[in-house]
Every structure is written in structure tokens, then in C-alpha cells.
Amino acid sequence: MLAKFMQREKRFIKSEKIAFLVLPLVLLPLAIELVVHGMQPEWFEVHRDEILIANIIYIVLARFTMLDTAVYIFSRSKNHIHLALMQIVLLYLEVTIITIVFYAVLFNMFDVFALFHLNSQLSPENLSAIKGHSFITSMYISTVTFTTLGSGDWIPQTLPAMIAVISEVILGVVQGGVFVAIVIYAHQNKGK
């Protein structure tokens, strides 16, 4: 039964013509939130943090669904789910998250505010809010470092912090290259 469900002929989105109309529906929850925000601003303000986190979880799940749908549409394969490609993407995501969390825990353990200097003009209440959430601050620093975004707002203050940043940047750059190489290798060897 599952095999029949996964066949192209049984799926709702069968071509890119329909996909361009269906995929924007991912924005529907955001449109509803905009209406709620306009009609109930006080309620929205009270629940803003929870709504933001829910939106982040939603878009991560929606992106995986959209990725799988795009692979399905453009591959012309009879099967909808391309397990090998999805496994590569999920493995890449897992390794990325593990690396980012590893460095974030490290930064947090050794006091992120002793390792890094905030090079930004924040209001006192925002600065105290950041200091109250050192692990989230560590995650932010680790994420912008690993992705080589390097927004420049957090500057390493110590030699060990500089070495940690250098190693995380190198791992991030190499991991991106390895991901591309694995996808190419998997595509070249799919018939073997």
C-alpha cells in the first residue's frame, strides 16, 4: 500500500505547474498571524516569544517537505521520496547541529561573556536579557561562526576563544565542501 502511495501517479503534486501554485501555501500560517496581530495586538504581544519559536519549528519542517517535493517534481522518478538524497541532507543537518551545539556548550562552559566581547550598542534592558541567556548567546555565536556569517558583533577576547573560532570556521567551510562532494558522488554512483 505504501509503495502505491509513493508512486508519482498517486500524488497530489504531479508537475511543476501545480507546485508553483501549491508551494506558496506554506505562507498561509504567516498570513493568519498577520491578521491576528492586527486584530489582537495585546494578545500577540503577550505570546510573541512562543509564536516566534512555533514559526521557526514550522518553517524548518516545511522546508524539508518543500525540498522533498522539489526533488520529486524535478527528478521525473516514479517514487516520491528519494531516501538517499534526504538521508544525505538529514545527515548533513545532524552533523551541523552537533558541531554548533558542541561549540555552544564549550563557549557556555567557559563563560561566553569572558571569551567574547559584544561590539554593539544595546540598551541596558536588552543587554541584561542577553546575559540572562548565556546558552542561547553561545548558540548564536557558534551558529554565525560555523556558517562563516561572522556578523562581527561578538569579538573573541582571549587566545583560546580565537583558536576555537578558527577551528569552527574551518570545520564549517570544509563541511560545506564535503556535503557537495557527497551529493555529487551519490548521484554519479546511483546506478551501481
| Residues 123 and 177 both lie in one domain | yes
Residue 9: inside a domain: no
Residue 70: inside a domain: yes
| Residues 103 and 134 both lie in one domain | yes
| Residues 122 and 68 both lie in one domain | no
* Amino acid occupying residue 40: Q
E strands, the chain, in order: 116-118, 154-156
The count of other CB atoms within 10 Å of the CB of residue 159 is 8
| Residues 68 and 87 both lie in one domain | no
Q: How many domains does the chain have?
A: 2
CB 87 within 8 A of CB 129: no
Residue 145: inside a domain: yes
Read off the pLDDT of residues 132-169 as tens digits, 9 standing for 90 and up.
888 999 999 999 999 888 777 889 999 999 999 999 99
- Of 48, 79, 110, the residue that ends a domain is 79
The count of other CB atoms within 10 Å of the CB of residue 163 is 11
- Of 79, 104, 131, the residue that ends a domain is 79
| Residues 58 and 90 both lie in one domain | no
Read off the pLDDT of residues 105-123 as tens digits, 9 standing for 90 and up.
999 999 999 999 988 887 8
| Residues 68 and 86 both lie in one domain | no
| Residues 29 and 99 both lie in one domain | no
Q: Is 154 left (phi over 0), alpha (psi -120 to 50) or beta?
A: beta
Read off the pLDDT of residues 72-94 as tens digits, 9 standing for 90 and up.
665 555 555 566 666 777 778 88
Residue 4: inside a domain: no
The three-class DSSP label of residue 79 is strand
What is the average pLDDT score of the chain? 79
| Residues 54 and 100 both lie in one domain | no
Domain of residue 152 covers: 82-192
| Residues 94 and 185 both lie in one domain | yes
Which CATH number fits the domain that encloses residue 142?
A: 1.10.287.70
pTM above 0.85, yes or no: no
| Residues 162 and 121 both lie in one domain | yes
Residue 42: inside a domain: yes
Average pLDDT over residues 23-48: 87
CB 107 within 8 A of CB 142: yes
Nearest Cα residue to 12 out of 72, 60, 75: 72
| Residues 129 and 57 both lie in one domain | no
